Amino acid sequence: MQDSLLTTSRILIVDDQPSNVMLLEGILQEEDFTSYRSITDSREVLPTFIDYLPDLILLDLQMPYLDGFAVMKQLQACIAPGDFLPILVLTADITHEAKRRALSEGALDFLTKPFDATEVLLRIKNLLQTRSLHLQLQKQNEVLDEKVRQRTADLEATQVEILERLALAAEYRDDDTGEHTKRVGETTARIAEALDWPQTEVELIRRAAPLHDVGKIAIPDSILLKPGKLTPEEFERMKTHTSLGAQMLSGGEFPLLQLAEQIALTHHERWDGTGYIGLREESIPMAGRIVTVADVFDALTSERPYKKAWPLSEAIEEIQRQSGHQFDPRVVEVFLKIVSK
């Protein structure tokens, strides 16, 4: 450590004897220390500490009002657990018991009165150097923490991007703009928000919902793009897009993938239990119940190879009509509030 850095460190001297204070100040001056404060009334230690934030405290043990032990107790409440604030105890009491107690209550080292200037300086410099190293380490850790945060954010952004592209790939054959999946994501998020989901969950479902039909990748064009009505066999094949999608997304470690898997599997479930798997009412995960409303509404109001787009008012009426049959009445109630805004 450079001497200039050492000598600009802030040192707080606490001793009720002015002669001791003068002696210590003289030693510091001699070594070109430029920043120190002295207190002879120990009751002023706490406010001075808060205002001055010293790097080192030279603390007398035997003082009126508050002795050194009481001062250390006060200071402990102000020092953060990870902070390294050296306290150098000044004492004429060199008994084993006094030393043990001082060490256990926060002191790092001792100076025995009467002072020896060389010894005083050696202890002060050692403790300041240790503090400086500690601060450097703390700073490095903060930089590392920030880097880890940044990398994690990059990783999450990459995952989200890959998932968005996967959703786009699934929709590409019947909607090459991917607008349907995006709109379903947005409507889903608005419903979740209106249902008072925490913001982090809302963001999660906004990103997971567009993947609801990812299993369509495995459905042949002849079925997916068929302009007319599907035969019962074709319809059965089409229905497998839920379980296929869930399989594709299964085993994910991240909450986003796990939610997307759940949505892929359950977005064709019906409140009355007549959906693809046959789950009913509360047994259908909430995410699936929300996405199904958003998905059906968007499908009704969009043009498809086999149908024209419904007018908004008719689509809303249909959603309302299906409350308690196809859809969770609570989700429909919230949805109607959103679309009437």
Q: Contact residues for Fe ion (CB under 5 A)?
A: 213
Q: Where are the alpha helices (DSSP H) in 80-231?
A: 96-104, 117-171, 179-194, 199-208, 221-224
Shortest Å distance, C-beta 160 to Fe ion: 21
* Of 201 and 213, CB closest to Fe ion: 213
With vertex at residue 27, the alpha carbon angle to CA 21 and CA 29, rounded to the nearest 5 degrees, is: 100
Six-digit token pair at 96? Answer: 């084993």
Distance CA 242, CA 249 (A): 11
* Of 130 and 250, CB closest to Fe ion: 250
Q: One-letter amino acid identity for 222?
A: S
* Of 239 and 330, CB closest to Fe ion: 239
Shortest Å distance, C-beta 157 to Fe ion: 27
Q: What share of the chain is helix, strand, coil (3-state, %, to 5)?
A: 60, 10, 30
Nearest to 12 by CA among 124, 110, 143, 163: 124
Nearest to 277 by CA among 285, 269, 286: 269
Q: Which residues contact 107 (CB under 8 A, 6 or more apart)?
A: 59, 68, 72, 87, 88, 89
Shortest Å distance, C-beta 221 to Fe ion: 16
* Of 55 and 298, CB closest to Fe ion: 298
* Of 102 and 287, CB closest to Fe ion: 287
* Of 131 and 212, CB closest to Fe ion: 212
* Of 213 and 298, CB closest to Fe ion: 213
Report CA Rg, the chain.
35
* Of 97 and 176, CB closest to Fe ion: 176
Distance CA 58, CA 173 (A): 77
Shortest Å distance, C-beta 163 to Fe ion: 16
The count of other CB atoms within 10 Å of the CB of residue 31 is 15
Shortest Å distance, C-beta 243 to Fe ion: 11
Q: One-letter amino acid identity for 341?
A: K
Across the chain, where does the E strand assignment appear? 11-14, 36-39, 56-60, 87-91, 109-112
Residue with nearest beta carbon to Fe ion: 213
The count of other CB atoms within 10 Å of the CB of residue 40 is 16
Shortest Å distance, C-beta 169 to Fe ion: 15
Shortest Å distance, C-beta 78 to Fe ion: 59
Shortest Å distance, C-beta 222 to Fe ion: 18
Shortest Å distance, C-beta 332 to Fe ion: 19
* Of 213 and 328, CB closest to Fe ion: 213
Six-digit token pair at 262? Answer: 């759940």
Q: Which residues contact 330 (CB under 8 A, 6 or more apart)?
A: 195
